[in-house]
A and B are shown apart, each in its own frame.
Chain A
Amino acid sequence: MRMNNFLLLPIIIPFFFGIILMFGQKNLKYQRSFALLGIGLALISALSLLIKVKNDGIQKVTFGDWPVPYGITMVSDMVSALLVTTTLLIAIFVVWYGFGSITKERERFFYYPGIMFILTGVNGAFTTGDIFNLFVFFEVLLMASYLLIVLGGEKGQLKGSIKYILINVISSALFVITVAFLYSVVGTLNMADIAVKIADINQPGIVTVIAVLFLMVFGLKAAIFPLYFWLPTSYAAAPIPVLTLFGALLTKVGIYAITRTYTLFFVHDLSYTHDLLMALAVATIIAGCIGALAYHDVKLIIIYNIVIAVGVILFGVSQMNEIALKGAMFYLIHDMLIKAALFMLIGIVIYITGTSDLRKMGGLMNKYPALGWFYLIAAFGLAGIPPLSGFVGKLLIAQGGFEAGSNWSSIFILASSLLVLLSVIRIFLYAFWGEEKETTGTVDKKVYHTLFMPTVILVLITVAYGVGSEWITPFMDDAAKLLSDPSIYIDAVLKED
């Protein structure tokens, strides 16, 4: 019997470095270099894990050498390996970007440990194979995010964080209640075992109720339609690197949890659960589009674009066929990368102009042509113009939608791209074109380059993701196969080795 602790490295390494960074709190050089080193090492192990999962299939380890349904199992399949790798890839750029953007006082007060712990939580949530362990990792990442959102103690941050913490405390309590319900019905916490037990009893009404409760819990984290109200004001309060991390990672953990539960557990009453999910996904897109077009604040425009993307991905999940699930995976990874890039870009714009109000900006194209063009590329990528990164995902989602017979909503998904494009092009038109306006921000060349370099590389990665989708397709195929056929996951976890 071969033990396989390797898949834990992307979780343990950030955690370990987070603890190490608790010491030597005032030493900036130490904090910065060790934070980068930790994420770098974790990224390397995540990449090799991705290759290992591709070659050898699903990896798992059960803590403490207990037999499978009794111990906590960590499972790394293609879905989680891809998400873990993307998470760490984004984190490295966010930390680099933070060198120019985050204030020294914040850096000295556990900013880097906060980032490390948030990565621990996110990677753990992506990798765990136990529903209660998922809750624990949710709390790990939420605690760290509470620190990061309030760190600095500005008035807006305090206001935003109260809302954020309240909502998340309530949703965590709901999560515990829902797990308790599920445990009382099936009597197990291991995800693969739950899936088997639900299939055995053929999903009676109570399990469908639990499915909807899970949708509420994870929907609060992922910001789906009636439950997204907390997100814009809370996120807008955080400083740009923190906002980037939140926007790129946190809602995606909720999406992942919905995807996992709705493709593994609750697959026996599709006409109710998945139709509900589809209706909510479409409503989420509408709400996001309205928000993205309504505001003149660059932060809020991109934040509402998160909501739109949540809807698009969950629409793909709700179709439950292999093509749409593949599209959802493509779009999920794309969206993590592009949202990070966009937040970093508008962070630079805000740094240059000293305001986040579009109407006070203008004419940046003269002085910062490179920034302008890279913003345009990222905006086109977000809208899904071929050959950029958003194209393949949305194409596959729409194709899957047509195949599943939801024609009108698929057409709606395609049409919503136009509104997405309009919302981000508005930033381009206002901020980069037109007459040059007086800027209140003071631009330091060195800081500007620290901000610009990681952003450009991230934009180029998104371009490579779109242009090179041929190379990524085999990974996505594996992920989609796994999501559309729960027995692969169940067999891999429960079988004796």
Chain B
Amino acid sequence: MKINDVILRTVTKTVVFIILTLGIYLFFAGHHAPGGGFIGGLVLASGIVLLYLAYDIETVHKGMPFDFKKVAALGVLLATGTAIGSLFFDAPFLTQTHSYINVPIFGKMGFSTVTIFEAGVALTVVGVVVTIILSISEDE
């Protein structure tokens, strides 16, 4: 008998959006409140894992055709990229900079290169967690 998982799938469709939004919220909150790249990345990854639980690997892969090993590598590249970037401005390695820019709707907002560094961390976490889950599940 085929198990009917229509309730799981319907709930997942709604909940995944909440989880992903929370992940992105945590990521951006990191500078002034608890959160940041690592926890944001973990929450994003948990959303993706929920998708894998509710659907099968092929279906999710059709929607997200990423090689998650490369996502992780890209994240590390991004993080070291911001660190190496400081070399070109004659500043010590890993120096971060920030500035305030007037954005049309939101008004004055602070932008910082730490955000790019943290984006790298988040991508690495997502890549690593999903790679681990997928390698274990695909093992025969």
Contacts and interface: CB of A to CB of B under 8 A. Distances in A.
A23 interface: yes
Contact of B69 (A20, A22, A74): A22
A73 to B, nearest CB: 10
B70 A65 contact: no
B80 A5 contact: no
B93 A61 contact: yes
Contact of B80 (A3, A19, A74): A19
Given A12-B84, A22-B69, A23-B70, A3 B76 contact: no
B139 to A, nearest CB: 12
B21 interface: no
Interface string B81-98: 000100100111111100
A74 B92 CA distance: 11
B73 A3 contact: no
Interface string A4-25: 0100100010011001101101
Contacts of A20: 77
Contacts of B80: 12, 15-16, 19
Contacts of A3: 90-92
Interface size class of B (residues with CB under 8 A): 10 to 19
Contacts of B94: 63-64
Interface in B74-132: 76-77, 80, 84, 87, 90-96
A190 interface: no
B92 to A, nearest CB: 5
A23 B73 CA distance: 8
A377 to B, nearest CB: 42
Contacts of B93: 5, 8, 12, 61, 63-64, 74
Q: Please classify the interface of chain B as helix (H, G, I), strand (E, B), loop, or mixed, using the class held by over half of its residues.
A: helix
Contacts of A8: 93
Given A12-B84, A19-B80, A64 B70 contact: no
Contacts of B72: 22
Nearest to A62: B92
A64 B96 contact: yes
Nearest to B75: A19
B73 A5 contact: no
A65 B92 contact: yes
A16 B72 CA distance: 14
A438 to B, nearest CB: 40
The interface centre, meaning the residue of B70, B80, B93, B94 with most chain A CB atoms within 10 A of its CB, is: B93
Interface in A41-70: 61-65
A423 to B, nearest CB: 43
Interface string A274-306: 000000000000000000000000000000000
B92 A5 contact: yes
A334 B86 CA distance: 37
A93 B76 CA distance: 27
B26 to A, nearest CB: 24
A16 B76 CA distance: 9
Contact of B87 (A5, A15, A65, A74): A5
B69 A64 contact: no
Contacts of B95: 63-65
Nearest to A9: B87
A20 B70 CA distance: 10
Contacts of A5: 87, 92-93
Contacts of B91: 3, 65
A465 B72 CA distance: 42
A16 B85 CA distance: 13
Contacts of A12: 80, 84, 93
A16 B92 CA distance: 17
Contacts of A23: 70, 73
A226 to B, nearest CB: 36
Nearest to B77: A19
A317 B77 CA distance: 40
B76 A19 contact: yes
B84 A16 contact: yes
Interface in A99-158: none
Nearest to B69: A22
A12 B84 CA distance: 8
B92 A19 contact: no
Contact of B73 (A22, A63, A64, A65): A22
A196 B95 CA distance: 27
B125 to A, nearest CB: 15
Contacts of A16: 80, 84
The interface centre, meaning the residue of B84, B87, B91, B92 with most chain A CB atoms within 10 A of its CB, is: B92
A273 B72 CA distance: 44
A163 B77 CA distance: 32
A338 to B, nearest CB: 34
Given A16-B84, A22-B70, A23-B70, A63 B77 contact: no
Given A63-B95, A64-B93, 11 more contacts: A3-B91, A5-B92, A12-B84, A19-B77, A23-B70, A25-B69, A61-B92, A63-B94, A64-B95, A65-B91, A65-B95
10 contacts: A12-B93, A16-B80, A19-B73, A19-B80, A22-B69, A23-B73, A25-B69, A63-B95, A64-B94, A74-B93
Pairs A-B, 5 closest by C-beta atoms: A22-B73, A63-B94, A64-B94, A65-B95, A19-B77
